[in-house]
Chain A
Amino acid sequence: MALTGLEIFKQLPKTNCKDCGHPTCLAFAMALASGKTSLDKCPHISEEAKETLGAASAPPIALVKVGTGDSVVELGDETELFRHDKRFYHPTAIAVLVEDTENIADRVAEINDLNFDRVGLHYEIDMVALQCVSGNVDTFKAAAEQVAANTNKAMVLICEDVAVMEAAATAVADRKPLLYAATNDNYEAMTALAQKLECPLAVKGNGLDNLAELVDKITKLGYKELVLDSGNRETSQVLADLTQIRRLAVRKRFRTFGYPAMTFTSKDDPHEEVVQASVYVAKYAGLVVVKASKKEEILPLLTWRQNLYTDPQKPIQVEAKAVAIGDVTPDSPVYITTNFSLTYYIVEGEVESSKIPAYIVPVNTDGISVLTAWAAGKLTGEAIAKALEENDMESKVNHKTLVLPGYVAVLSGSTEEATGWKVLVGPREAAGITKFARENFA
């Protein structure tokens, strides 16, 4: 609930002194409301107004950082309930659970290997969550050190016994692990530890009522680097809890819940776990801890996260540069498509699987798909001519035949005219490329 310019104006001195650089207090208020200036530019504002306005202009959900360097994971700082209203910013972090009695080096190597390339994007697991099951201070500490030695990834340390946590957390404090968790029973000591080590702290409640009480107690102790866990593990209840936390923070500016939220999957079957985690990725988890750790289990989850966190206003584009697929020769066919990433990679995948080497020339359509680009006048004979010329296709191949996407067969005439190339109308759907290529180019 951001304040409007008028609401801010009421709190200002209304002297129009211009010390802030704006001609009037109202102009300053308007600039503040749209986030174009900051409150400290006004030297005359009262302490009381500063407090009200400061709280209102703080982000509804705090940004909490776990880890260090290139592997730092940013959680929270979300402003929306629905991606279509604007966008989601900080993708749900996925942590894979390791127990301190396992072979740490092997497990961490396996987790390090969970990185994927698809459609020109790189995905990887963000964090390793180390759980103390040994109950032994030395075992947990040694395991934490081993995780730290074997990966740069951010860490979560899971242990409710403060003495056991202290040894491990102190050993790897420079890695800024997330300490899980402060509970009703240990919150004073656990908070003191997090404060001392300057590590983010997870707060585990027993339902949302209890979580709210606990968070208030902890913030009163002066610590605010928090991540919230309602403590529930039933899919439907976790969905309800995550929804409440996000809604109250964003819509009601309920500061108690103004922190990123986390949860754990509860299923034992890794397939069921992935499906359960997909729910939490969709609905508002900042961090999900999973046990699943096979490539085929993690790839769908990370792909779903990537999809959800794309900016709905900004189509993902590829560079409008001709790409050679396979061992091309001057006889290789030339496919035309657009530089909308999704379109391009679907075409690329199909051309690749046709096993007939070819060039793909993505026309710059500002990242929109074939039909939309045609309708918007961005995929035209002239645009195709320009793409062929800029990529110097005439010197790359010894023929002058291009494959036009089937959906824009209507552009055949104007394309032949503008390019001087012969048009071969391809399939409407990329899925037809293999068949088409075998019939025409094999």
Chain B
Amino acid sequence: MAFSAMKEKYSSQVHTVVLGATKEEGGTRDYTITVGGEGALPFLHFEGEVPHRPVVALEVWDVVPEWHESLAPYFGDVYNDPAAWAKKCVMEYNADLVVLRLKGADPDVADASPEDCAKVVKDVLAAVGCPLIVLGCGNPEKDSKVLPAVAEATSGEKLLIGVADQENYKSITAACIVHNHNIIAGSPIDINICKQLNILITEMNLPADRIVIDPTTAALGYGLEYGYSIMERARIGALQGDKMLAMPIICNVGHEVWRSKEANASSEDYPAWGDQANRSILWEATTAAALLQAGANILIMRHPKALALVKQNIEELMVPTSFDD
């Protein structure tokens, strides 16, 4: 029997979100980045548009991180200078954009004030021309003070700010509305909470095309499949017309992977797992490659070599395909 391709016809597509604003648009970025817009499951070009390729970001911290020693050759010289660090991510390692994690705001780390945090963000913005993602320290109470201060100090830049959860979304959403930023809505591997939070945020009148969702993803080997399936379900829902699940997806890959034993265990302690340096790079790249297949739009990476591998993979996956009708 002759083969005739089966093409799904979807009624809807993923929202597009524009990250960053140029001078004309009220910000200071050299360029903007658009994510989302897919009208098909990941990279199935033959049945729908994939107008914007997924992008990869590298992580910068506002305090010297206690990262694995194998990362020091790449960033060790800039650990104490977030602006120089950000510059290196873009200029040397070809990151599409930079994520600034305000770890120093954590009361258990440096308890940096909202004003100090805002200053670091401005320094980084001055150092690079790419759009910027700003993440809080993870302490919901502190983040609800720090992130609005950052939003105000960078008004009009269209940062992507997060992570807002069910506890603290109100103050962060309000700040994003007033100062023209995008928001990351985080949910704990739960598609209902994911949808609910999107509804709550849009009800505050932040348009849906200013929201990116973080469904929470684990590292390879540590429950990656849970987040993977939540993302697949959300993406299918989006294509079938569920507007409150149709936001682009961001995944915190590097942060999760570098907590795993496989990324950190030394070659000497675990000879049966092979070389640590290469193992950690592949642990990160494989996690990212898996998440791309579930619909990730923004991947936050840590190791420059993992980032390069993922960029290469994205480039290959963006090659158009078609089947005759």
In the complex the two chains form, what is the Cα distance from A211 to B323 in whole Å?
14
Instruction: Say whether A244 contacts B286, CB under 8 Å.
Output: no
A-B residue pairs in contact (CB < 8 Å), sample of 10 = A83-B225, A212-B3, A236-B318, A240-B323, A256-B1, A276-B313, A278-B290, A294-B275, A294-B278, A307-B290
Task: Give B191-214 as 1s and 0s: 1 = Cβ < 8 Å from A's Cβ atoms.
Answer: 000000000000000000000000
Residue in B closest to A309 when the chains form the complex, CB atoms: B225
Instruction: Say whether B262 contacts A299, CB under 8 Å.
Output: yes
Q: Of B273, B294, B317, which is within 8 A of A299 by CB?
A: B273
Complex interface: chain B residues within 8 A of A36 (CB): none
Q: Does A161 reach chain B (CB closer than 8 Å)? A: no
Q: Does A394 reach chain B (CB closer than 8 Å)? A: no
Instruction: Say whether A275 contacts B3, CB under 8 Å.
Output: no
Output the residue of A256, A275, A294, A306 with the most chain B CB within 10 A: A275
Complex interface: chain B residues within 8 A of A247 (CB): 6
In the complex the two chains form, what is the Cα distance from A240 to B281 in whole Å?
27
Q: Does A51 reach chain B (CB closer than 8 Å)? A: no
Interface residues of A (CB under 8 A from B): 82-84, 116-119, 208-209, 211-213, 216, 234-237, 239-240, 243-244, 247-248, 251-252, 254-257, 271-272, 274-276, 278-279, 282-283, 294-297, 299-301, 303-304, 306-308, 310, 312, 342, 346, 349, 353, 431
Instruction: Say whether B220 contacts A304, CB under 8 Å.
Output: yes
Other contacts beyond A237-B321, A279-B313: 18, CB < 8 A:
A84-B232, A118-B273, A235-B313, A235-B316, A236-B316, A244-B3, A255-B1, A276-B316, A296-B273, A297-B274, A300-B282, A303-B221, A304-B220, A307-B223, A307-B225, A307-B228, A349-B261, A353-B261
Complex interface: chain A residues within 8 A of B46 (CB): 240
Complex interface: chain B residues within 8 A of A256 (CB): 1, 3
In the complex the two chains form, what is the Cα distance from A137 to B122 in whole Å?
69
Complex interface: chain B residues within 8 A of A84 (CB): 229, 232-233
Instruction: Say whether B221 contacts A118, CB under 8 Å.
Output: yes
Assuming the contacts A296-B278, A303-B221, asked whether A82 and B3 have C-beta atoms less than 8 A apart, the reply is: no
Please count how many residues in chain B sit with their CB below 8 Å of the partner chain's CB atoms.
52
Q: Does B85 reach chain A (CB closer than 8 Å)? A: no
Q: Of B272, B275, B323, which is within 8 A of A244 by CB?
A: B323
Instruction: Say whether A239 contacts B278, CB under 8 Å.
Output: no
Q: Does B319 reach chain A (CB closer than 8 Å)? A: yes
Instruction: Say whether B272 contacts A116, CB under 8 Å.
Output: yes
Complex interface: chain A residues within 8 A of B286 (CB): 274-275, 278, 300-301, 303-304
In the complex the two chains form, what is the Cα distance from A229 to B3 in whole Å?
14
Complex interface: chain B residues within 8 A of A310 (CB): 225
Q: Which 4 pairs of residues, A with B, have the shortest CB-CB distance?
A: A296-B274, A295-B274, A212-B3, A296-B279
**B140 to nearest A CB, angstroms?**
13
Instruction: Say whether B272 contacts A279, CB under 8 Å.
Output: no
Q: Does B52 reach chain A (CB closer than 8 Å)? A: no
Assuming the contacts A118-B262, A236-B320, asked whether A272 and B309 have C-beta atoms less than 8 A apart, the reply is: yes
Complex interface: chain A residues within 8 A of B274 (CB): 294-297, 299
Q: Does B159 reach chain A (CB closer than 8 Å)? A: no
In the complex the two chains form, what is the Cα distance from A165 to B310 in whole Å?
38
Instruction: Say whether B223 contacts A248, CB under 8 Å.
Output: no
Residue in B closest to A369 when the chains form the complex, CB atoms: B223
In the complex the two chains form, what is the Cα distance from A255 to B1 in whole Å?
9
Instruction: Say whether B224 contacts A307, CB under 8 Å.
Output: yes
**A230 to nearest B CB, angstroms?**
10
**A150 to nearest B CB, angstroms?**
20
In the complex the two chains form, what is the Cα distance from A243 to B321 in whole Å?
12
Instruction: Say whether A274 contacts B282, CB under 8 Å.
Output: yes
